[in-house]
Amino acid sequence: MLAVDPTHSFARAGWLLRAARPSDLSAVSALLASCSLPTEGVAEQFGESYAVAEHAGEIVGVAGVERYGPHGLLRSVAVAPQWRLAGVGSALVRDRLQWSEEAGVQSIFLLTTDAARYFHRYGFRVVARDVAPAALHASREFSEICPASARLMRLEEDAALRDAVREKYAKAARDAAHGDSSCCGGGCECSNPVTGGLYDAAQVAEIPEQALRASLGCGNPTLLAELREGETVLDLGSGGGIDVLLSARRVGASGFAYGIDMTDEMLALARENQRKAGIANVEFRKGEIESLPFAEASVDVIISNCVINLSGDKPRVLAEAFRVLKPGGRFAVSDVVVRREIPASIRRDAELWAGCVAGALEEWKYREFLQSAGFTDIEVVPTRIYSADDMREIGVRDSLLDGALMSAFIRATKPAKEAVRHA
Ligand SMILES: C[S@@+](CC[C@H](N)C(=O)[O-])C[C@H]1O[C@@H](n2cnc3c(N)ncnc32)[C@H](O)[C@@H]1O
């Protein structure tokens, strides 16, 4: 279905879906009020971002998307009682989602007190309120109009994949907390070809054993990132916290290390590891790497260890990394990278996705996405190349993958201020 435009309308069974006109505002406000939805602020953005359903000249349904910078807020989804269960609400929501895509809206949120289950079917998922981008946070809808009890939902095209990833790492965190290593850095016997033997003896001595046990990375970004005293570091997908704790030691008391992770169990583990390590210049925040809860230009170095491959929206992750880095800031991550085409059947496998295999980017794509985000000085340095035997050890039995995947260190720079301004 095409998003409606002001010159076209689409006839349905007895009703019409069309773009809203300024003259619809009072009827729309009356409909919202009759459905106990807020009318405050609707007039401010009423126009082409709203669609209405009309029957016999009467407005029987409405939905709108308010714009906050590159983000959208779906609001005012209302259908007159006698038109419920007739597909009106569904048509309006789908139409507005398509309109948003065509209008270049990057991410779509909504606030709801009682309709989370309804919106779940369109791919919206409840997220922590602090995940909302700053522009949305500052909106009247967010800060005044909707009650603080309203739940924030975000449209997730890859909701199933994200759920698989979250479940896998929640279990890994629980296992690590109970002393079962999913694998480890270098402090215990570990032969996993991806996660084993990443940290040297000096680093192992610096952090609690439990942090090592929880290590699920595929490299050692703290060694390669050349961290300096006083710097602010942000680790994307910090897991049990190993790289955050090591970074905090590197940047010293005048620096600070943040970790961000979406999995509650991992955050609890990381905070416990911080407590055991007795390191103060660290904070673990809940959030998603596609929408970082950090201000623009607030971080010197972004590190990450085997996480970006797990995201269903890598360009957005890299754009977010670019946004929060200070001019001249460094991006220095370890990740799994594809060296040549891998079968589509593997790409579709959610379990392999959650295991860092199916979601990995080809090297050329990684470079292209980094460049599109604005980064320069891009380098991709292989650190381990995986044979069919290595793959078998991590449970992937597909000889086509022999040599197809590698762990790599990926480095890039956000240009210094002058270069950004004149770009
Ligand atoms: C492979 S583990 C790596 C953990 C840690 N970096 C390490 O080296 O041990 C992936 C971690 O990223 C987190 N994660 C995955 N996707 C994420 C996302 N989109 N936003 C935030 N965290 C994410 C998971 O919860 C998990 O803790």
Q: What are 139-152's pLDDT values in tens digits? A: 888 888 888 889 99
Take atom 8 of ligand 1 and give the residue whose Cα is closest: 217
Residue 77 three-state SS: strand
Residue 3 has a pLDDT of 53
Task: Say yes or no: 131 and 178 in one domain.
Answer: no
Q: Is 262 in the pocket of ligand 1 (CB under 6 A)?
A: yes
- Number of domains the chain contains: 2
Would you list the DSSP string of 95-132?
Answer: HHHHHHHHTT--EEEEEESS-HHHHHTTTEEEE-GGGS
- pLDDT tens string 168-180: 999 999 988 887 6
Q: Are residues 147 and 173 in the same domain?
A: no
For ligand 1, the distance from its centroid to the CA atom of residue 187, given in whole angstroms, is 21
Q: Is residue 3 part of a domain?
A: no
The verdict on residue 162 lying in a domain is no
Cβ–ligand 1 distance for 63 under 6 Å, the answer: no
The residue with greater pLDDT, 164 or 239, is: 239
181-194 pLDDT per residue, tens: 554 333 344 556 66
Q: Residue 138: pLDDT above 70?
A: yes
Same domain, 224 and 311: yes
H or E element: which one contains 153? strand 151-155
Residue 27 has a CB neighbour count (10 Å cut-off) of 17
Q: Is the shortest distance between the CB of 263 and ligand 1 below 6 Å?
A: yes
CB–CB of 267/286 below 8 Å? yes
Taking CA atoms, 183 is separated from 53, 198, 281, 384, in Å, by 55, 11, 27, 17
Residue 274 domain flag: yes
Q: Give the HSE-up count for residue 59: Cα atoms under 13 Å, Cβ half-sphere.
A: 25
What domain range is 101 assigned to?
9-155
Q: Give the domain CATH number at 245.
A: 3.40.50.150
For residue 100, tell me if it sits in a domain: yes
Q: How many whole angstroms separate alpha carbon 378 and alpha carbon 400?
A: 29
End-to-end Cα, the chain, rounded Å: 38
Residue 245 has pLDDT above 80, yes or no: yes
Residues 239, 215: contact at Cβ < 8 Å?
Answer: yes
| Residue 181 Cβ < 6 Å to ligand 1 | no
Amino acid at 18: R
Predicted pLDDT of residue 348: 65
CA of 372 to the centre of ligand 1 (A): 24
Asked if residue 140 is part of any domain, the answer here is yes
pLDDT digits (tens, 9 = 90+) for 191-224: 566 677 788 888 888 888 888 888 898 888 998 8
User: Separation of 239 CA from ligand 1 center, angstroms?
Assistant: 5
> Distance (Å, rounded) from C-alpha 200 to C-alpha 223?
10
